[in-house]
Amino acid sequence: MGNETQDPSQFAEVQSRGNISVIGAEAIDISSTDSTPTKTDPDGKALIPRGLLVGVAGNVVCDLADGTTQVTLPAQAGERPWMVTKIYKTNTTATGLFYLF
């Protein structure tokens, strides 16, 4: 355990894992710029992720849904219950990131 990458395809549509229902996942690409979630509801309203899937541990620099900006969170591999609205390229060292909805 530790640095293996988790397969996001396990979060295809709706899957129940204990008390957590996952509607879908969206890959986070910060190779060239910052990332914001793009998933919307049927009415076109932007959805806020209910968490992140971290493939390889590191830091995540992000804005949180509560309005906190550019916070650095140490992230172990696995699911993190962070409601984020933006992931910053600069100083984010965690990889294999996915927004979970």
Domain ranges of the chain: 8-100
Residue 28 is encoded by which pair of tokens?
Answer: 């986070």
pLDDT for 21: 53
Nearest CA-CA partner of 53 in 31, 16, 92, 81: 81
- First CA to last CA distance, the chain: 25
* pTM score over 0.85: no
Measured CA angle at 57 (ends 52, 63), to 5 deg: 45
**Which residues make beta-bridge pairs with 64?**
84
The token duo for 51 is 């968490």
Residue 7: pLDDT band (50, 70, 90) is very low
Segment 35-80, tens digit of pLDDT: 999 999 889 999 999 999 999 999 999 999 999 999 999 999 999 9
